[in-house]
Amino acid sequence: MALLGAVVLLTACSLPRGAALQSEVVNEKNSEIPTFQVVPVTRANIPGIESWPASGWDGQYHWPGTSEGSSSSVIRTGDRLDVTIWDSSENSLITNPGQRYTEIKGVEVDGNGSIFLPYANKVGVRGLTPAGARAKIQSRLEAIVPAAQVQVSLQQGRDHTVDVVGGVTKPGAYPMPSRNYKILNVLADAGGIPQGLRNPQVRLIRGSSTYEISSDALFRDGSRNALLHPRDTVVIEEDNRSFTALGASGVEDLVYFPKDRVTALEAVSLMGGINDSRADPEGVLVLREYAAQYIRADGRGPGMQQVVFTFDLTSADGLFAARQFHIQPGDTVLATESPVTSARTILGLVGSVFGVSSQAAAVSN
């Protein structure tokens, strides 16, 4: 019996388990030199924790608000103008005999923002609307052709387009019909965002600046309908932010964010819940790493780079705290193993040992 008891004890020390116990993870906080910080999360300390710096983000991109532009187009370098000059005078300098007008097609706006016209030489038109260019050309011709009337038609060049390069039904370069062309306009022209993309993110690249917003937030708030600039680039991509789910849960895998913000309670749901027979509802942990520059000693931020947040989901306080705590990209959510599971296994082993002993005694008698 003593030998069998020793076997049971040795076996209990090396029982196979699917996850760590909470005590195994957080007990290091009691060591003389802990290597990570343990923070029990409650409703009382949630406001302070939520003010800590965000971690795990590729970038914190702001998004420009909406504004109104002119309904007219503006002439830019590379655009082409069709200029028609009407003159009913006899012996006109600009028309052939019997003609009332002359056409000059496809005059390109050069790098200096000018076009060349006979008798008018170079005329600066960049930054003008077609109506403004018409008035300026006509003014230049008045000294030569007093009765001339000018008509200008704009053919926009490559510098007057917005590129939509992915995540839409019809990617391509879209000419700006006016200066009041907005992000929702170009998305509609490009066929919209296909169904099935996971929490689509709209990225606007403007020169060296990048702006980003989720499509849900963009469609929900009219103040986000940003005014576009020529040569803007729009990219639509799936949300690639994720956290790692481990332990006694329904899922052990990378879990992608289905929306912009995910709470700890929602993360448990995305993990398939915690296993009723294995998990410790008092021991749901969130493991997070902060950059060194965010470490603070005044309690207004993480005290160490590696932090373990602990949740007790058996209490109302813990449940409400988990509803307010936001998961960050790169977090690990661990559902720890219940110590009861190990106790049950040990009792099962003890029961089987005594069962074997009773059978052996019966046989010997």
What does each C-alpha distance from 262 to 228, 248, 267, 326 come to in angstroms?
A: 31, 20, 6, 6
pLDDT digits (tens, 9 = 90+) for 19-63: 566 666 777 667 778 889 999 999 999 999 999 998 877 655 688
Looking at residue 142, what is its pLDDT? 82
Domain with CATH 3.30.1950.10 in the chain: 80-155
How many alpha carbons lie under 13 Å from residue 58 in its C-beta half-sphere? 7
Ordered strands of the 161-166 beta sheet? 172-175, 161-166, 233-237, 201-206, 209-214
Q: Phi then psi for 33, rounded to 5 degrees?
A: -125, 85
Which class would CATH give 80-155? alpha beta
What does each C-alpha distance from 165 to 2, 46, 63, 209, 229 come to in angstroms?
A: 74, 41, 19, 17, 16
Looking at residue 77, what is its pLDDT? 83
Looking at residue 344, what is its pLDDT? 45
| CB of 320 closer than 8 Å to CB of 43 | yes
- Residue given tokens 């060296």 in the structure block: 208
d(CA 221, CA 129): 31
286-295 average pLDDT score: 93
pLDDT digits (tens, 9 = 90+) for 55-66: 877 655 688 888
Looking at residue 267, what is its pLDDT? 96
pLDDT at 257 over 50: yes
pLDDT at 163 over 60: yes
Alpha helices in 142-285 (DSSP H): 183-189, 215-220, 264-270
Looking at residue 112, what is its pLDDT? 87
CATH of domain 159-237: 3.10.560.10
Domain with CATH 3.10.560.10 in the chain: 13-57+241-344, 159-237
15-24, 38-47, 126-135, 331-340: range with highest mean pLDDT: 38-47
Looking at residue 19, what is its pLDDT? 57
Higher-confidence residue: 17 or 250? 250
pLDDT band at 353 (very low <50, low <70, confident <90, very high): very low
Looking at residue 274, what is its pLDDT? 85
CATH of domain 13-57+241-344: 3.10.560.10
284-303 average pLDDT score: 91
The single-letter code of the amino acid at 199 is N
Q: Phi then psi for 102, rounded to 5 degrees?
A: -130, 145
12-26, 91-105, 143-157, 324-338: range with highest mean pLDDT: 324-338
Q: Is 201 in a helix, a strand, or coil?
A: strand
Higher-confidence residue: 91 or 4? 91
pLDDT digits (tens, 9 = 90+) for 185-237: 999 999 999 988 999 999 999 988 999 999 999 999 999 999 998 889 999 99
Q: Is 112 in a helix, a strand, or coil?
A: coil
pLDDT at 356 over 50: no
- Structure tokens, 286: 């969130």
pLDDT band at 339 (very low <50, low <70, confident <90, very high): confident
Looking at residue 327, what is its pLDDT? 96
Looking at residue 177, what is its pLDDT? 82
pLDDT at 309 over 90: yes
pLDDT at 15 over 50: no
